[in-house]
Structure 1
């Protein structure tokens, strides 16, 4: 394992966060704070508890994932797309480093940024609503697993995209709508039976419920299924990335 190469990529990618601190950290935190003010305080004060949890506290896990998912995809996709756009990817591919080491550097940096952002939002949420974390170990485990998985997905997107427009399509048109419809602001048990069944085809439902279970010990779906679905998606992304590097898909043009 070429630790020096991994560290070089990791440090370089992570340094972009500090150069664009407002865009990378302050802007997502401000947006999430507005959700807490509108949904948690204004609307939540007029709603009954859900599974014995106040509405403001109930939406905390979903709002954290709403930001972590979109930031993970965006950070990882831009991280690999910019070297392709500028041509520096050829220097990386000609260096004596493996695909696994390239992934550790790029995905590791993107996941670190997403997890830091998620923890900052978690701390910010305590300003607006009181809550306790029932399973702190599993909360961290789910956060790490989800951040890494969607950074891998973003890495795939960054290789696939042939323009900046395509980098924005998936987070804005797919990830964000699925997150809103995945139980971020409500329990799927509140839906009519037909729509409960339809919602189960949304993969984000399993992520949100697994993460919410780590907070409060309650979930609309089996936690084992949530964990298994996330791992399967992660392994699928790793397999796609391996194929892309093996075939040179949009990397050798």
Structure 2
């Protein structure tokens, strides 16, 4: 099997170039928003909650804040990337080009994941200006960063195909992903919840992502590392299967 490297590179470079044109929206705004979270939660609330799981509260929330930006920006970048060709009508040229579904997905999702990883690294560097951050397991941190970025870029790709208007591009990130992230242990450990609500929290898929990501920093976890990794890989598998089903059936690709 041969790959159309020129086609993949052309789409990838086009999507990456869009980041330069929307630098304020893609990079600067998320970093500023995250910095405000550090000021509000890390300083104001952190002065009252000194520690969480033996870690200073300001440092404890770093993985959750990175994950919050990672999820929302991965979805936003990938959904807009594929929605715009539908909106402008150029998707017909894309589908008739000598590119396989895998190559199209690799181009758009790869670019969205790359932008999200860059943003995550910038936020991590920014957080070091506010709180002391340590990374006990840097390889695992990079693994979770990569898996999460790719998985939610795939979800964003699906949303971009499903959406038939710009307003629908924001429905899932604002009404589903952001609340799940806030309730998924971004700013607290679910171990502080009453037993009943701990069980309810385990129904939230974002809990597993944040738990594994936080473990890579501080070796503390709400859920077993292997359970977190297994759930993350399951989300990735479901997303991949859904995207290839869309191309196989043509669902909303030409609408």
Q: Report the TM-score when normalising by structure 1.
A: 0.99
**Which residue of structure 2 aligns with residue 103 of structure 1?**
105
Q: What's the CA shift for 1:42?
A: 1.8
1:221 aligns with 2:223: yes
The aligned residue for residue 214 of structure 2 is 212
Partner SS, residue 4 of structure 1 = helix
Between the aligned partners of 1:224 and 1:2, the Cα distance in structure 2 is 36
Match of 1:137 in 2: 139
CA distance in 1, matches of 2:243, 2:160: 11
Give 1:165 shift. 1.3
Which residue of 1 is the match for residue 75 of structure 2?
73
Report the secondary structure of 1:144's partner residue.
helix
The equivalent of 1:35 in structure 2 is 37
Query: How many residues are paired up?
Result: 253
Structure 2: stretches of 5+ with no match in the other structure = none
What's the secondary structure of 2:13's corresponding residue?
helix
What does residue range 1-253 of structure 1 map to in structure 2 within 5 Å? 1-253=3-255
Asked if the contact 1:146/1:230 (under 8 Å) is kept, the reply is yes
Q: Does the residue aligned with 1:15 lie in a helix, a strand or coil?
A: helix
Structure 1 residue ranges (4+ consecutive) displaced by more than 3 angstroms after TM superposition: none
Structure 1 distance, partners of 2:245, 2:189, is 38
User: Does the Cα contact within 8 Å between 1:36 and 1:56 map onto a contact in 2?
Assistant: yes
- The alpha carbon displacement at 1:163 in A equals 0.9
| CA RMSD after TM alignment | 0.7
Report how far residue 247 of structure 1 moved: 1.2
TM-score of the aligned structures, taking structure 2 as reference length: 0.98
Cα distance in 1 between the residues matched to 2:191 and 2:155: 29
Distance in 2, Cα, partners of 1:180 & 1:79: 26
Distance across 1 between alignment mates of 2:101 and 2:219: 38
Deviations 1:97-156 (A, max 9, x none): 111110111000000111100000000000000021000010011001000000000000
| C-alpha distance in 2 between matches for 1:42 and 1:208 | 23
Which digits, 9 at most, give the CA deviation of each residue in 1:186-212, with x for residues without a partner?
Answer: 000100111001000000000000000
Distance 1:224 1:172 in 2: 29
Pairwise CA distance, 1:10: 0.2
CA contact (8 A) 1:41 1:128 kept: no
Deviations 1:198-250 (A, max 9, x none): 00000000000000000001101011111111111111111111111111111
CA distance in 2, matches of 1:59, 1:107: 27
Please give the secondary structure, in 2, of the residue aligned with 1:240: helix
For the residue of structure 2 that corresponds to 1:45, the secondary structure is coil
Would the aligned equivalents of 1:178 and 1:204 in 2 still touch at CA under 8 Å?
yes
Structure 1 position 48, deviation (Å): 3.0
